Amino acid sequence: MITTWPAPAKLNLFLYITGRRPDGYHNLQTLFQFLDYGDTLHITPDQSGVISLLTPVAGVPDAQNLIVRAAELLKNAAQRSHSLPKNAGAQISIVKKLPMGGGLGGGSSNAATILVALNYLWQCGLTQDELANLGLQLGADVPVFVKGFAAFAEGVGEQLQPALPDEKWYLVAHPGVSISTPEVFSDPALTWDTPLRDLATLLRAPFSNDCEAVVRKRFREVDALVSWLLEYAPSRLTGTGACVFAEFDTESAARQVLELAPKGIRGFVARGVNVSPLQRTLSKRPATA
């Protein structure tokens, strides 16, 4: 039987870089919120013993696709604990809405949805924390999608504290360029010594993104998009981009601005939500034995 699972987008409502780590990564303080918008995964569990991706991504071998990697990671972990038979398999397809490299967490969200959904469908019995630890092997953003609640994140993004930011409406726009996260973090102009602050202090301050100045300087398309959106509402980069978002109090206000978007700008309007659509879907399913 085919089952359907959401893989929602996320926004970094703010993003501050507070230091460099010996391993080459950076320490962050960021606020994650989900969008009621994203990709959709269709999963059919079977007893073939094989993970089949029915909608491969051009140029990405299945073995490198986060969807397949997440499924294999869960399968191996559950078989080591003897909670999953050797013949467990699944057929997976995806309806892709989120742009790759857009700063919306599409790949990480896909991986998290696979971990959560197959843990349920295969009845592996792993806890949410165990799934989040598996997800961290795939990417620093995967645990927040697994846990499914808006969160203040520190470290490389894996230290999570639940948060309750306002659930605004957002116009999210893509300028049509692809941005490499490693390139942004290796730019010598990047600010990486923002002082550490507690969440209460950060929530009282205007939100910003330490990556934005570098990205706007390197990509005129992002600079132009931010400048345009700022005429209508508070706007900034999410993650390292390329997507930019503007916040509104109502859906209609956001849609009115989207209708004015310059030619070539792709965008959508969505509600920010503190409980992930994935968690809402899981909570509506019958408990497994």
In the chain, what are the domains?
Answer: 3-163 (3.30.230.10), 169-273 (3.30.70.890)
Per-residue pLDDT, 113: 98
CA torsion, points 44, 48, 54, 57, in degrees to nearest 10?
A: 120
Per-residue pLDDT, 25: 84
**Which residue, 190, 185, 140, is CA-closest to 32?**
140
Per-residue pLDDT, 218: 96
Q: Are 35 and 273 in contact (CB under 8 A)?
A: yes
Q: Are 182 and 226 in contact (CB under 8 A)?
A: no
Residue 101, Ramachandran bin (φ over 0: left; ψ between -120 and 50: alpha; else beta): left
Q: Tokens standing for 125?
A: 């019995």
Beta strand spans in the chain (E): 3-20, 26-46, 51-53, 89-95, 151-155, 159-162, 169-174, 235-237, 244-248, 266-273
From the candidates 10, 75, 147, 168, which is the catalytic residue? 10
Per-residue pLDDT, 157: 85
Question: Residue 267 class from Cβ within 10 Å (0-12 exposed, 13-18 middle, 19+ buried)?
Answer: buried
Name the residue with tokens 């989040």. 132
Q: Going residue by residue through the chain (289 aa), what tens digit of pLDDT does each one get?
A: 999 999 999 999 999 999 998 888 899 999 999 999 999 999 999 999 999 999 998 888 888 999 999 999 999 999 998 889 999 999 999 999 998 889 999 999 999 999 999 999 999 999 999 999 999 999 989 999 999 999 999 998 889 999 999 999 999 999 999 898 889 999 999 989 999 999 999 999 999 999 999 999 999 999 999 999 999 999 999 999 999 999 999 999 999 999 999 988 999 999 999 999 999 999 999 987 5
From the candidates 36, 141, 168, 210, which is the catalytic residue? 141
Per-residue pLDDT, 214: 97
Is residue 86 among the annotated active site residues?
no
Per-residue pLDDT, 63: 87
Q: Are 126 and 84 in contact (CB under 8 A)?
A: no
CA dist., res. 103 & res. 106, Å (int): 8
Beta-bridge partner residues of 169: 248, 271
Q: Are 11 and 238 in contact (CB under 8 A)?
A: yes
Is residue 39 among the annotated active site residues?
no
Q: Are 194 and 210 in contact (CB under 8 A)?
A: yes
Per-residue pLDDT, 289: 56
In eight-state DSSP terms, residue 14 is E
Cα end-to-end span (Å), the chain: 18
